[in-house]
Structure 1
Amino acid sequence: MKASLFALSASLAVVNATYHWPSPLIDQVEGLLFEGRGEGRPDNDLLDLVGKLAQCQSGTFGESGAAEWIRFAYHDAATHNVDDGTGGLDNSLLLELDRDENVGVGMKHAKADFGHFPNKYLSFSDVTAVGVALASAECEGPIVPIRAGRLDAAVAGPFGVPTPDQTLAEHTESFRLQGFNPEEMIALTACGHSVGGVRSNDFPAMVPGIPGVAADNFILFDTTTALDNTVVREYLDGTTKNPLVVDKNATLISDFRIFSSDGNVTMNKLADPETFDQTCSRLLAQMIDTVPSNVQLTDVINPIPHKVDGVQLSIGANNLLLRASLRFLDRNDNRNVTIHWEDKAGGCASNECSASLINFREVTTTLSARLGLFVTKYDFQVGVNATTSLSKFWFTVDEGDGSASITLDNDGTGYVIEQDTVLYVPNSSTSLTTVVAVRNAVPPMRVFMDIYARGPVLTTTVDFTPATGIASRIGYDFYTFDYTGVDFTFDLHALVDGTTYTEDMRNTYFATNNPDF
C-alpha cells in the first residue's frame, strides 16, 4: 500500500465521528467516491464512465479520458488568484470553453461525463473534484483525498490557464497565482502529464494528423497507462517522446522548460516512486481544493462504516412500503441483518415491526478496493401499517461468528421518517407521469414540486392535479403531473391545513426502475 492510502485510512474514525444521517452533501459525495454512484442510480455510475469511456489510455488512438478529467479540473482551478482570493475550482470553466487556452474535444467529453451528476446538493465542481480522485485510482495513481462544498460560479472567470507557448516566467507567475511555488509547479505538471498526451486536432503544429484518417492522432506523454512516474523517468533518461519536451519548435516545449527550471532537482526527487505518489496525492488535492476564499470545504470524506441510503416510504396495495439499504465496508456471508421500526406512537402495535433483507449485492469500486474495502449493500422492502405508520427505523447485525449482535441506530436517534403526509409513488409513476399520494384526513390546499432538471439549480415549480383513474386507498388520495422529456430530481410539497409537508429530493428514475432492489 502507498503512504497516502495509509494516511486516508488512519483518519477514517476521526473524520466520520461527526457524521449523522441524513447529511445530503456528504452522502452524495461519499456515494460517488466509494460506490461510483449518483442518487442510487446504476446508469449514473461515475466509476462506470471512468472504466468504459475514460479508461486511462484505451481509445482508438490512445487518448485518455482519465487525463481529460484531470485536465478539466486543472483548467477550472487554474484561474484562481491567490492575491485576491477569487476563482478556483468553481465550474466557471463551463463558461470558458470557447477560449483558446481551453482548446480540446476532451473538455467537451469531460463536461458531458460530469453533467449527469450535479443535483440540489451536489455542485458540478464537487463532481469534477471526485472525478480527479476516481481517475487517479483507476489509473493506479495515488489516493487523492476529497473534500466537498464547492460552489458553482455564475459567470466566467479571468483568462490565465498556462499555454505551451508561454515563457518560464509566465508559467511561474501563473502557478504562483494558483497557489503553487516553483517546485510544486514542476511536480504538478509531472503529475498531470503522467497520463494522456497531445491530440493532433488540438495542436496540429505539434502532432500531425494521420493521412487519410479523420480521427485524431494522439502522442502520449509517456509509455505506460498508469498515473505513475514513468513520465519523470523517461524525461531523465532521455527516452521521452513527450511532445511538450521534444518538439522541434522550441516555443512549444513547455514541459521541458518547467521540468528543467531548477536543474532537474525536483524531477530527480520524483524519480522515486513513493515520493512521486505522495507528492501527487498532495498536489492534486491542493489543486481541487483551490476555491474562492468565501468557500468553506468540509473535512476529508472517507468511507462511512455503516451507511443508510435509498430510503423511500411509499404506497403499496394495502399498506405503506418502506425501502432502505444498509451498506457495509466488508463482506461477510454469515452476516444476518434485520431492520426494525416503531409506529408513530413510539411502539409496535402489531408486534411484527421487523424484517429480514430481500437482497444482498456488491458495490465495490476501484477506489474502494484500493483502500482494502469490499463494499456491500443489504436491501430491505417492508410493509408498514398505514394507520399506525412509522416514526423511525434501525438495524441489528449478527456477524454469525459468535460475537454479540450490534445495533445501528444513527447514534441513538434512529433513522427518522420525518413525515408521511405527502409521498412519492414510484410504482405508479412512469417516465411521463409523476404520481404522488397525500393523506386524505384534511384536503390539501396545494400539492406541488420544485424541479431540478439534472442540476443544482431550481428550474421550475409545478402543481399537481387530482389523479384520474387511481382510486383512493389506505387513507391516501392521489395526484399527478405530466412532465415529458427530462429525467429530473424534485422536492415534493403538500400544503395541508396551513402546514407545508415536504419530501426532499426524490428522483424520477425510481418510476421505471428499481436501482436499489
Structure 2
Amino acid sequence: MKTALVLAGIAVANAYQWPSPLIDQVEGLLYEGRGEGDPNNSLIDFAGKLAQCQSGSLGESGAAEWIRFAYHDMATHNIEDGTGGLDNSLLLELDRAENVGVGMKHALADLSHFPNKYLSFSDVTAVGVAIASAQCQGPIVPIRAGRRDAIVAGPPGVPEPQQTLAEHTESFRLQGFTPEEMIALTACGHSVGGVRSNDFPAMVPPAPGTTADNFILFDTTTALDNTVVLQYLNSTTKNALVVDKNVTLISDFRIFNSDGNVTMNQLADPETFDQTCSRLFAQMINTVPAGVTLTDVIEPILTKVDGVQLSIGYDTLLLSASLRFLNSSDQRTVKILWNDKAGGCASGSCFNWSQNQRDVTTTLASRLGLSVNKYDFVAPINATTSISKFWFEINENDGSPVTVLDNEGSGYVITQDRVLYVPHSSTATSTVVAVRNDVAPSRVFMDVYTRGRSAIVNQTVDLAPSTDIESRVGYAFYSLTQSFTGVEFTFDLHSIVNGTTYTEDMRDTYFATNSPDF
C-alpha cells in the first residue's frame, strides 16, 4: 500500500518499487524533464522543448500550442456514448478546418520524441499541459497516466469561432463541462497565446503594410494568469476573439458574457483563477474514452533509480545506473553495492562510489520546492561471476545513520546477462549487442517500437554475428544496421538459448554514444 511523506510541504510517493515503467517515465518527464535514461542528449529534454512561454518571433507561445493541442484532442469527447477524449486521435484529424494552425505542427514536433512502448502519445500530451502551466507561472496541474492512443480518427466537433453560443454550450456539454466551466476553461486556455493571421486571416490581418504573418496576443502578459480576465472586464483587451469587428467571430466575448460576467468576475480573483484552471485542466486531460482507467495522481518519488544498463567494457561487464533524490546535498555520499550470481561477492570487491552529482530540476519541481539531484554510477562487474542485484548505501554525513536503499528489501534485480545492448558501439542507425558465447543462441533478435502516424508500431528483426568485433570476456557480438521510420525508436532484445528466451526490456537509442571503446 502506498504511503506518503512530506518534503518541503509536498506530498511525495514513498513506498515505490522499481521498476514501474509507466510511472517511472511520466514522473521523470514531470520532475526531471526527461524519461528514464541517458540525460546528456537534448533531444530527450522534455522541459527544454518549452524553454520559455513566449518563444516565437511574433510572440507565439509554445505553452499555448501544447495546451491547445491537448484541448483539440480531447474536445470531440461525447459523454453520452463514452467515445473520444484525450486519446491521440488528433494526429489523424489535423487536416480538418477545426484543427487549423501551424501551432499544431509545432506541438506535434515538440511532443513526438517521447512516446514509446510504455508511454502513450496522449500521456505525453497530458504531461505537456502540466509542464506548460508550470513554465508559465500558472497553476500546478495534477497528472495521472494510463491513456491509450486511438488508431482511427474520431468524429469532428472541436468548437470554432464562427459558431453560435448555443453550439458552443452544447459542444462543451458533450465534453463534460457545465456552462460556467466552459467560460472558465476558455479563459484559462486563452490566458496564453493568441491568434495568427496565417491561420485566421478573416480575424487577424497581415502585419501592417505587408503580407507577412501577424500575431495578436490574447492579453499583454506571457504568464498563465488572469490578465486575460481583467483586461476583458476593464475593456482594455486586444483579444481578437473579443473585439474583432466581425461579430460572427467574437466567440470569446459570447462565451465570457454568457452568464452576465458572473464567472469572469469570480476569476478576477487570482487564487480563484489558479484553483479553477488547475481543476479544469486536470478534468480536460483526464477526459478519456470509456474503458480507459487512469492511475492515481503521480507524486514525485523520493529516491528513484533509472538509467540501469548492464553492458560490456574492455575486460569487464559495466553496470551503469543513476540514483535520484528530491533534495540536494553537498555533504551526501552514495555507494552502490552488488551481489554476484551466486548471491555473494566472490571477487572480494563489490562496491563503487558515485562518479558525479548533477542537478536535473525542472520548473515544475522547483515550483514545488524540490531540488532534484542525480548521482551517476559506472561499476566494473566481473564477467565470470556477473551480477544478480544491486543496492545503495547513503551517508548524509550529518551524524545520522547510514541508510540502505534496496527497493523495499528485494534489491534492484538484474534479471539476465545473456543478451546485452552495447551502447558504446551503437548509433541511432546501428545496433550492437553482446551475447554470452558459452552456449550458442539459436536466434538473436529485437522487437522494435517506432512511432507511426498516430501510434507506436512494432516490428521484429533479426541480428547477425558481427564481423567487426572479436569475442571478449565470454561474449560474442551481433549487429544490425537499421533504417526504421519514426522520430526515435526503442527496442527489446532477445536471445533464445536451449529453448529459453532471455530479454533485455526497452532499450533506447539515446543510450547510443557512437564512441566505441573497443
Q: TM-score, normalised by structure 2?
A: 0.94
Partner of 2:277: 280
Q: Residues of 2 paired with 1:39 and 1:340: CA distance? A: 21
Aligned with 2:321 (options 318, 321, 324):
324
Aligned identity (percent) is 73
Q: TM-score, normalised by structure 1?
A: 0.95
In structure 2, what residue type is equivalent to 1:60?
S
1:32-51 matched pairs, under 5 angstroms: 32-41=29-38, 42-43=41-42, 44-51=44-51
Post-superposition Cα deviations, 1:479-514, rounded to whole Å, max 9, x if no partner, equal 111114764211000000010000001122222269
* SS of match in other structure, 1:390: coil
Contact 2:321-2:376 within 8 A present in 1 as well: yes
1:148-159 matched pairs, under 5 angstroms: 148-159=145-156
1:302 shift after superposition = 1.4
Q: Residues of 2 paired with 1:423 and 1:171: CA distance? A: 55
Q: Residues of 2 paired with 1:394 and 1:407: CA distance? A: 7
1:57 shift after superposition = 2.0
Q: Residues of 1 paired with 2:10 and 2:82: CA distance? A: 29
Aligned with 2:346 (options 331, 345, 349):
349
1:376-395 matched pairs, under 5 angstroms: 376-395=373-392
Partner of 1:405: 402
Return closer, same or farther for 1:415/1:149 CA change in 2, 3 Å cut-off: same
Is 1:462 equivalent to 2:461 in the alignment? yes
Unaligned runs of 5+ in 1: 1-5
Contact 1:448-1:494 within 8 A present in 2 as well: yes
In structure 1, what residue type is equivalent to 2:106?
H
Return closer, same or farther for 1:215/1:396 CA change in 2, 3 Å cut-off: farther
Q: Residues of 1 paired with 2:396 and 2:132: CA distance? A: 34
1:123-134 matched pairs, under 5 angstroms: 123-134=120-131
Partner of 2:214: 217
Contact 1:8-1:302 within 8 A present in 2 as well: no
Q: Residues of 1 paired with 2:257 and 2:451: CA distance? A: 45
Q: Residues of 2 paired with 1:9 and 1:265: CA distance? A: 37
Contact 2:72-2:99 within 8 A present in 1 as well: yes
Q: Residues of 2 paired with 1:45 and 1:305: CA distance? A: 21
Instruction: Spell out structure 1 runs of 4+ moving beyond 3 A.
Output: 6-11, 211-215, 484-487
In structure 2, what residue type is equivalent to 1:508?
T
Partner of 1:296: 293
Contact 1:396-1:406 within 8 A present in 2 as well: yes
1:212 shift after superposition = 5.6
Partner of 2:476: 477
Q: Residues of 1 paired with 2:210 and 2:109: CA distance? A: 25
* SS of match in other structure, 1:109: helix
Contact 2:24-2:36 within 8 A present in 1 as well: no
Partner of 1:254: 251
1:174 shift after superposition = 0.5
Q: Residues of 1 paired with 2:499 and 2:314: CA distance? A: 29
1:116 shift after superposition = 0.8
Q: Residues of 1 paired with 2:175 and 2:15: CA distance? A: 32
Partner of 1:503: 504
Q: Residues of 2 paired with 1:242 and 1:490: CA distance? A: 47
Post-superposition Cα deviations, 1:200-241, rounded to whole Å, max 9, x if no partner, equal 011111110015645420111111110000001111111111
1:335 shift after superposition = 0.2
1:388 shift after superposition = 1.1
* SS of match in other structure, 2:456: coil
- Over the aligned positions, Cα root-mean-square deviation in angstroms equals 1.7
Partner of 1:3: none
1:154 shift after superposition = 0.4
Greater mean alpha carbon deviation, residues 34-43 or residues 368-377: 34-43
Return closer, same or farther for 1:353/1:215 CA change in 2, 3 Å cut-off: farther
* SS of match in other structure, 1:459: strand
1:249 shift after superposition = 1.1
Aligned with 2:117 (options 120, 145, 152):
120
Return closer, same or farther for 1:431/1:79 CA change in 2, 3 Å cut-off: closer
Greater mean alpha carbon deviation, residues 156-165 or residues 465-474: 465-474
Contact 1:117-1:454 within 8 A present in 2 as well: no
1:253 shift after superposition = 0.8
Contact 1:446-1:495 within 8 A present in 2 as well: yes
1:24-173 matched pairs, under 5 angstroms: 24-41=21-38, 42-43=41-42, 44-51=44-51, 55-173=52-170
1:429 shift after superposition = 2.2
Contact 2:446-2:491 within 8 A present in 1 as well: yes
1:438-449 matched pairs, under 5 angstroms: 438-449=435-446
Q: Residues of 2 paired with 1:398 and 1:424: CA distance? A: 32
1:85 shift after superposition = 0.8
Post-superposition Cα deviations, 1:241-263, rounded to whole Å, max 9, x if no partner, equal 11111111111111111111111
Return closer, same or farther for 1:513/1:179 CA change in 2, 3 Å cut-off: farther
Alignment: residue pair count: 504
Q: Residues of 2 paired with 1:132 and 1:9: CA distance? A: 24
* SS of match in other structure, 1:395: strand
In structure 2, what residue type is equivalent to 1:320?
L
Return closer, same or farther for 1:462/1:109 CA change in 2, 3 Å cut-off: same
Partner of 1:489: 490
Q: Residues of 2 paired with 1:242 and 1:154: CA distance? A: 36
In structure 2, what residue type is equivalent to 1:452?
Y
Contact 1:398-1:404 within 8 A present in 2 as well: yes
Contact 2:36-2:306 within 8 A present in 1 as well: no
Partner of 1:512: 513
1:433 shift after superposition = 2.4
Q: Residues of 1 paired with 2:8 and 2:118: CA distance? A: 26
Contact 1:454-1:489 within 8 A present in 2 as well: no
Greater mean alpha carbon deviation, residues 472-481 or residues 129-138: 472-481
Return closer, same or farther for 1:115/1:81 CA change in 2, 3 Å cut-off: same
Contact 2:354-2:375 within 8 A present in 1 as well: yes
Is 1:207 equivalent to 2:204 in the alignment? yes
1:359-378 matched pairs, under 5 angstroms: 359-378=356-375
Q: Residues of 2 paired with 1:79 and 1:480: CA distance? A: 45
1:224-239 matched pairs, under 5 angstroms: 224-239=221-236
